[in-house]
Structures are given as structure tokens and as C-alpha cells.
Amino acid sequence: MSSEVFSNPMYHKLKEFKFKSGEILKDAVVEYITLGNPIYDDKGNITNAIVYCHGSSGDFGSIRRIEDLICSDGLLSQEKYFLISLSGLGSPNSSSPSTSNLKSDFPQFTIEDMVNFQKCFLKDKFNINHIKGIIGNSMGGFLALTLVSKYPDFADFAVSLVSSYKVAGHNYAMGKQMNDIILSDPNYNNGNYEKPLTETLKLASKSMYTLGLSREYYRSLSNEEINEGMEELALDGSEDDANDIIYRNNASHSYNIENELSNIKIPVLIIAINQDQYFPPELDAVPMSKMIKNSTLVIYDSILGHIGSSEILKVEDPIKEFLSKVV
């Protein structure tokens, strides 16, 4: 699939968006792309929409993580489905502390707010009140599962990819450490900094370096290669915005839908990776699969660890079997 597909986003503006707190954001911007063409029923409703939700550091282009599923001969081919991927609430280029220039005056938000932002966009832009399915990777899985637990009739199926039903334990500690590094910078100034906190953001990014891939992968690297990898990650992280990071981390820290999983009516495919250090299957996917009645659990091996979703075709057959029942 041409890389141009993932580099030409479109933009839509919501006249206003209301947060759970009651605060209202005017002219809320949504960055998005679509792949494929919508199919309409006799009432003018789109019947083949599938929504993709990205991880914490991603955006609309992160849908390329499942490129093998959405290519022309994939199980979710854009020749058959209308695929929608947007940069979520709090992500750069959609409404966020940095994009809005509100900085610390931007309303604090939750995962549920991110879901409602998504729903408002789908309704306002495409008049969509129901989707065929939703796929969420990592933090995007939080959105997918929250959507189908809060709004059980909104989708026909959901896929949770390397994700969980709550943020706790080591995941909470990692995010808090990242926030604490940023907050410790005297130039942070309660979120009203005048210049980018470049060096602090580099350090915050480095703190997460050892978790994205598997332990086996890191052990295969020389110390020089590890140094290079850390510096590359630090450089990427230095381009982020400190408030955007803290707001998204705070939203994730409050995420826990354990008591709401029983609301889910639709089939859910839970895909996990044995070597995932963020969401080890025994702590996240396995217990979650027992709490969701109509769920299918698939676990595979990938030395890429958490980012091993790029090797999703390792479990093509069970995905095909699941989708054959829901699409």
C-alpha cells in the first residue's frame, strides 16, 4: 500500500464538544483518513464502516500496523470495507493542549471522553450511528473496549490488540514516572511553558525504551546498538508536547472498565503477544477473556514484543475464523 495513503490526512471541525466534566470545547478539530468506499442501505446509512484506534503515541497513520489485514487481498480489504482512522482527542493535530494552544487550560479528559469525541465525529461527519466493527491497538484497545461496554449496540464486533481492561501495576508506574520527569522540569511552569521542554522530553522518552520490544530482542543487541536506539527514541520524543503527554497519560491512568466488561454483548477478539512487556497476556488478555462472555483469545510469539502487531498474520487463520462469523 502506498505510503501516500498514510500521509494525506483530512480535517473536520466539530462546532463544540462536551466533556464528561461539563466543559465545552468550541471548534474541536479532528484529523482523520478514510480507506475504501462506504456502502449505504436503503435508508442512507453506511453499513460497512470499521474504525481503527491508535496507541498513545500514534495518530491516524497508525492504521498501517494492520496493513496486512486491510490491503487489497486482506481479511478486511478496503475493497469491501470503509475504514476510518482518526487522531484521537489529545493527539497532535486533533484537538489537544498543543494544537488548541490552550496548554494547561485544555479540559482534562478521560478514555470515555476520547470515545465520545470519536462518536461525535462519526455522527457529525458521516451520520454514522452504528459501525460494523472497531479495532484498537494498545491504548486504542482502551477506546474499543470502552465503546462497546458503554454503548453495547454501537458495533457488531471489536478487536482488542495488545491491550487491556485497566491500567495498573507496572503500567501505571511507567506512566507516572514519565509524568514525574516532565513535572520535575522547573520550566514546566504548571503547563504554561514558553519553549519546548526538549531535553526533558528526551529523558522521559528514554525511560520507556526497554519496554517496547521483547527482553530477548534487547539482549540480542550490543551496548552500542542500545545506545543508538535510546538516542533515536529520545530524538523522536523531543518533538512531542509535554502537556499532550501528561494529559494522555492521565487519561490512561484512570482507565478501569473491569466492572463494565459484562455489558459487552458483541463478539470480541482479544489478540496478545507472549513477549509483550506492556501487557503480558497472563496479566491482561487472559483474565480479560474470562470476563468477556463472547470473547475469543489468540496469543502468539513475537520477538518484537508490544510492537509485534506488525506480525499479525502469524495468527491469520484464527482471525479469519473470527471474522467469518461477524462480517
Query: Which residues are known to be catalytic?
Result: 276
Classify each residue of 126-160 as buried b or exposed e, where b means 16 or more C-beta atoms within 10 Å of its C-beta: bebeebbbbbbbbbbbbbbbbbbbbeeebbbbbbb
Q: Nine-digit cell at 85?
A: 482512522
Single-letter code of the amino acid located at 223: N
Single-letter code of the amino acid located at 167: V
Contact 203, 195 (CB under 8 A): no
Bridge partners (DSSP) listed for residue 34: 84
Report H helices in the chain: 67-70, 97-100, 111-126, 139-150, 169-183, 198-206, 215-219, 223-237, 242-253, 285-291, 316-326
Classify each residue of 287-299 as buried b or exposed e, where b means 16 or more C-beta atoms within 10 Å of its C-beta: ebbeebeebbbbb
List Cβ neighbours of 186 (8 Å cut-off, separation of 6 or more): none
Report CA Rg, the chain.
19
CA distance 61 to 8: 9
Please give the helix or strand (H or E) that residue 136 lies within, else none: strand 131-137
